[in-house]
Every structure is written in structure tokens, then in C-alpha cells.
Structure 1
Amino acid sequence: MKTLYLVRHAKSDWGDPMLDDHDRPLNDRGLRDAPAMGHRLAERGVRPDRIVTSTAVRAKSTARLLARTLGIGDDHVVEEAKLYAASERSILHLASTLDDAVGIAMLVGHNPGMSDAVGELTGEWVELPTCAVVECRVDVDAWCELIEGSGELVHLDTPKH
């Protein structure tokens, strides 16, 4: 049994129109929401073995704030360029390549890919707002066995809940 958390990055700042999309930082709300969601995860006893994040500034910031709040060191946070603007199939493929020593993984990325990945994995279609966290239980022994429909949506949390 594996557990996969799919996270949409926290709210980003659109204030500088000259800034490349990849380089947009979190806004004030995002800087509040990410640690708040981390505290909720900590209260539930969640502690991922690995956090894989898009290389976009807003996703990396979200991942690092979650990790810090959960007491997870930077050595457990891995940046993956393929998560930036990834499709649901790319996201699930990336998850299927995780090391099998990882029992609990968290992927931090972008919509529409993250919302669509939840649907592909679990058959439950949800539109993830910023900083939403979805817990999926995957009935596999090895990540390479992860396929469409192999997961169950266990928990969905958003900053407004």
C-alpha cells in the first residue's frame, strides 16, 4: 500500500506583469495558506517520505513551507522540472517512477494537471483550488504498478475548509 498526496501550489502573486510565469512568487495569502495546510497535515500525523515539487517558484515555495511545517528537511524535497505545467498522465507517470522505499509521497504542482491527476487516479473529479491537498491511497506494492483508477481518494482539504 502506498499513499500519494497531490497538492496544488498556494496562491501566487500576479503583481508584476513582466515576470515570467515560472518565476511568480507566492502572494500574502499563499504565504499564510501553505503553513496552515502543513499544520493541518501535521495534526493528522502526515509525514511524507519524499516531496517532489515543480521547479516553478510558487510550487517550490509551497513545498518548502509544507516541509518546514511538517518538520521535514530539505533533503527530502526534490525539484522536478517535468511537474511544471504537467498533464495528468505526466504526473502519474512521474509518481510511478518513485523509489519503492518511499511509502508516502507528495507531489506539488499546478492545475489543470493536479485536478485531472486526482480524477485519473481515483475516478473522482474535483477542481482543486490553490493549496488544496488530496490524499490518495494506492493499493500497490511498487510505485511502477500505479495506473489509472488504482487509487482511492481518502481525504481532500482546502484552505477554506
Structure 2
Amino acid sequence: MKSLYLIRHAKSSWSFDLDDHDRPLGKRGRKDVHKMGQHLLQNQPVPDILISSTASRALYTALHICDHWGLDEGRIKLDQGLYHAGASEILQIVQKAPECERLAIFGHNPGFTNVANAMANLDFDNVPTCGVVGINFNIRYWKDVKFGEGMLNFFYFPKGI
């Protein structure tokens, strides 16, 4: 059994004149990621491998959650392909992930909502900022992940916890 955590970045700030890729977390985002990090630590096993988009808001979400999990920031692998990736690109990144039981990836919408829906036959309108979708797969290797074969394990978002 494999477990995938799809973690959408926390709310970003629009206060700075920066390129979209470089926008940091905003005040609400920092509050929400702290809340989500605590909730994940108390309710789910810590992932073995973490992969993050290179965008600042996704990476800082990963860093803050790593702090709650007690993981060294060096455990986060960066993948530029997650920035604005669609469902098919995200699936390919998961299929190429190093072998482990639990994998967490940090990225963006609409790709994360679309891939969650496709992987587990869900009908989510939106994975909100700092939302986490946990999907289980009855497979041995990540390379065998396919759309429609996952089972929803959990869905957390800041206003719902």
C-alpha cells in the first residue's frame, strides 16, 4: 500500500511586486500552515519523501510543515515541473518518485484539484490553499500509479480542522 499526500501551498502574499514564482506566504498562509502542520503531525504518519515545486509559496509551505514533522529541510526535493503542472505532469512526477511508502508533494492548483479527482475518482470543486488530500494506492511501486485507482484516505483544509 502506498500513500500520497497532495499538499497545496498556503495562501500567498500579493503585497510585493514580484514574479508569480517568487511570491511568499502571506500572514494567513503562515497561520494556516502552522495549523495544518500540527494537525498532520497528530493525525497522519510522517511521509518518507517530500517533493516540492520550486515556487516560494510551495517551498515555504513544505519547510514549515517539515518543521512540524521534525524533518530536516534537506529532505525536501525540488521539482520545477510541479510549478503550474497539470494532472498528467503531476502523475508522471509521482510515477518517477523514489520508492517509499508515503510520499508528500507540494504544489499548486488547478493541477492538484484535477489530479486528486483523476487519481481517486473524486469530484472536488477545489482543494483550498493549504489543503491536503491523502490518497492510498494498492500498488507496490510508484511507477504503477494510474488515474482512477486511488482511494481517498483523508481531506483536510484549514477552515475544516
- TM-score per shorter chain, which class? over 0.9
CA offset digits 1:88-138 (Å, max 9, x no partner): 1111110011112x1100010000000001011001021101000011001
CA distance in 2 between counterparts of 1:75 and 1:141 reads 26
Alignment of 1:20-39 (within 5 A): 20-39=19-38
Equivalent in the alignment of 2:10: 10
CA distance in 2 between counterparts of 1:45 and 1:21 reads 31
**Offset of residue 45 of structure 1:** 3.8
**Offset of residue 75 of structure 1:** 2.4
Letter in 2 for 1:24: R
Letter in 2 for 1:19: L
CA distance in 2 between counterparts of 1:139 and 1:74 reads 29
The TM-score with structure 1 as length reference comes to 0.96
**Offset of residue 46 of structure 1:** 2.1
CA offset digits 1:133-155 (Å, max 9, x no partner): 01100111000000111111110
Equivalent in the alignment of 2:149: 150
User: Runs (4+) of structure 1 moved beyond 3 Å?
Assistant: none
CA offset digits 1:32-87 (Å, max 9, x no partner): 11121011011014201011000000000000101111111122211110000000
What SS does structure 1 have at the residue aligned with 2:159? coil
2:113 corresponds, among 112, 115, 121, to: 115
Equivalent in the alignment of 1:125: 123
Alignment of 1:10-159 (within 5 A): 10-16=10-16, 18-100=17-99, 102-126=100-124, 127-159=126-158
- Structure 1 gaps of 5+ residues are none
- Structure 2 gaps of 5+ residues are none
The TM-score with structure 2 as length reference comes to 0.96
8 Å contact from structure 1 (residues 2, 104) kept in 2:
yes
CA distance in 2 between counterparts of 1:120 and 1:90 reads 12
What SS does structure 2 have at the residue aligned with 1:5? strand
CA distance in 2 between counterparts of 1:70 and 1:48 reads 9
Letter in 2 for 1:88: A
How many residues in Structure 1 have an aligned counterpart in Structure 2? 159
CA offset digits 1:2-31 (Å, max 9, x no partner): 000001100000112x31000000001111
